[in-house]
Amino acid sequence: MIYQRYIPAHELFSAQLELLMQNGQLPTVAAHLIGVAAALAMFWPFLDPTAMLLWAGAFLALLLLRSLHMSRALSSHAYRIAPRWVYAWLVLGSAATGTIWSAVYIYAAHHVPITMQYTFLLLILMITAISVGFSVILREYFIVYLFTAIWPIAWWSLANYWEQPYNLVLGLVLLAFCALLVVICDRMYRSFRNMISLNWEREAMSRELGELTHSLRERNRQLRDARQQLTCLANIDELTGLGNRRMANSALNDEINRARRTGACLSLVMLDVDCFKAYNDTYGHPAGDRVLQRLADLMQRATTRAGELVARFGGEEFILILPGACAETALRTAERLRQLVEEEAIPHAGSPQFGVITVSQGLLTLEPGTDAQPGELVSRADQALYRAKQLGRNRVVVAGPSPSADIGAAPPG
């Protein structure tokens, strides 16, 4: 469809019909009404008034029918559904009105003065000239009118050349007039058709462009979604739904830079499940997985402040990044988490000291104005965690300036 640039013949025909009816409906009725009124005024003294009124009534009824036909065809879109049928009726109406005018002229020629007769002819020619303006959209439609309204008068004039002095000349002039109008009408018809085709092509192209833009937008959206999904997959730990090590590293980097810029504190907690190997050995690996998921929930409950992030750093080790938290606040958070885990009371027969799942944590705070690399911070927090394990597990150890200065903040209760 996108490569089609020429209007199909049936669509061109329907468009011509539509244009003809839209533009021609009013001028047709108006021109013929003026013609009827003028004919009545001119012939009233010479012809039988009753016959004239009957004629005018019949003509008006015909005009009304034509107008109704056009309105119905336009509103029901019949010109698209059954264009041939609509066209046939239009041509029939055109032939009927043309025939009426020529018949009236020929009849009046025997009953009215010659000046009146020629004035009437001028009137018919004027109506024809008005018609040419819009009815050439469909060449044949106009030609039918021309050959029913003017052509018979021309031949009648030639056939009766002896009756009136100018009949011969008039007949020849009218024949020439018909020929001229046919040529003009053909030219106009071609330009109208080109205009419709061009219009159609422009509309088709802008429609295609619209569809193309729409599908490109849709494609972009899909790509954006896919990218988001990929980013998500690349940063999320499948088991716990927390961020993974990759996300943690990137967040830590960002937070160190932010802390450096704003001069705020930044704390970091490394957390490890105690005696987890024993748990796996006792309860099985799937049960161990479920414990990790429950712990992930607890860690999220303990870190609700804006900007705080929990990630799975690897295996059964987790990291908590606490932007803006100085040592005291961070210790409170870590301790609350330790208690939450303890209170969760997940049975752990393999934990000789506690009998439930516990966690050890190493906490490190980056004081304002201190510079450090992410790896260095993680390593120092890890050392504090190692100390927590050494000191008996289930506790938080705050990293000091050196490993020997680490502070075991929360002895097991």
Ligand X SMILES: Nc1nc2c(ncn2[C@@H]2O[C@H](COP(=O)(O)OP(=O)(O)OP(=O)(O)O)[C@@H](O)[C@H]2O)c(=O)[nH]1
* Positions that interact with ligand X (CB under 6 A): 239, 272-278, 280, 285, 288-289, 292, 315-316, 389, 393
Q: Which two tokens stand for residue 122?
A: 């001028």
- Residue number with CB closer to ligand X (161 or 386): 386
Q: Using CA atoms, how far apart are residues 94 and 142, in angstroms rounded to an integer?
A: 8
**Nearest alpha-carbon partner for 33 in 145, 130, 154, 168:** 130
**One-letter identity of residue 314:** G
CB of 363 to ligand X, least distance (A): 17
- Residue number with CB closer to ligand X (93 or 288): 288
Cβ neighbourhood burial of 67 (10 Å; 0-12, 13-18, 19+): middle
- Residue number with CB closer to ligand X (264 or 278): 278
Phi, psi (rounded to 5 degrees) for 312? -90, 120
CB of 383 to ligand X, least distance (A): 14
Phi, psi (rounded to 5 degrees) for 217? -60, -45
Q: Which two tokens stand for residue 402?
A: 């050196």
Catalytic residue among 18, 316, 317, 343: 316
**SS3 call for 392:** coil
- Residue number with CB closer to ligand X (239 or 345): 239
Q: Using CA atoms, how far apart are residues 131 and 94, in angstroms rounded to an integer?
A: 10
- Residue number with CB closer to ligand X (100 or 295): 295
CB of 300 to ligand X, least distance (A): 18
CB of 269 to ligand X, least distance (A): 15
Q: Which two tokens stand for residue 181?
A: 């109008």
316 a catalytic residue: yes
- Name the residue number minimizing CB distance to ligand X: 288
Q: Are 246 and 238 in contact (CB under 8 A)?
A: no
CB of 296 to ligand X, least distance (A): 11
User: Could you list the active site residues?
Assistant: 316
